[in-house]
Structure 1
């Protein structure tokens, strides 16, 4: 199976880039999230971590916010990815925007968000998602699906719709401070454009990578 990547705007040139990688990310993200875009979940990203012994793992999570400082997602702090990050803060993100023949690849380090930021986001979540954060001991072994459903039903009785669901102490966010941000634009004959921002002191430098 092979897809011939095609672009209609001349590809990606150094002169096209914003001065800051997060500004460039905003440009591409807005295009990916625009009405009529072929991307159903443009904020879906693959998060890759490694444990203290260097064993890698990956999973797809949703980007919940970003700014000039970096990218934020939320998770159970008992999950595998959170345990990995507790031992080894180095992380990689991948936004696989295949219908647009684009990818964004990020490397950097992760740190927990403040409790205030976590609480503000948690209370913005749908009611069911709030209960789910309590019901699921993420990455732990379940005896059966019934165990999970029973836990959720008990929480729903304890915190009925309309009540305030407290923020789990074991749940919160991570902010990824980028060290590199690569913008990948597919081109014909596998001659893709790869422009990578690398953190310098001060600011950023841009380098072109061979495809």
Structure 2
């Protein structure tokens, strides 16, 4: 059977990189004695498929992991078995059963939603006007890391939605970005270009990235991966 896990990555766990997160789940699966399916050959590995790596230092309330099990289990049993071993900050919220034909991991991903929190004290008073002008350009050129190095690309069509908000201490930018196996726009690419266009020095410690959810596109609608399980 295939199962899709929705989990959080909060608190100190935001400093755990993607490879370490993979190893963490592998260890917890072994300790929980879940009947995970392994590949064949001299170096067997667990059939685990993460939807989308999270930027180091970012938090999330909507991460996904797909796995293949050799036995049929109830979703609640899978959830409780893993939560008993996972550290604080990593919490399985829900488990969904997938049909055999459904895409798993990054192959199921078309977009991701983020909230970007920026300390008001670290940017000029006119910053949000500049941000609004940035998104309203007919063409948005940004430096993007590719296989052959850094190149300038038009990311306008990769930004599906944006909203601007604020509280007493922070500017808040919400972004729905094209991402996944077909095209992949990272939120830090967008924010760094905003800073670059405004001659500001970008520092991770002044900006916090939080992922809201990950989506598949079905008939021009973006549906959370939990809704297509």
Global fold match (TM > 0.5): no
Give the shorter-chain TM-score range.
under 0.3
- TM-score normalised by structure 1 residue count: 0.28
- TM-score normalised by structure 2 residue count: 0.26
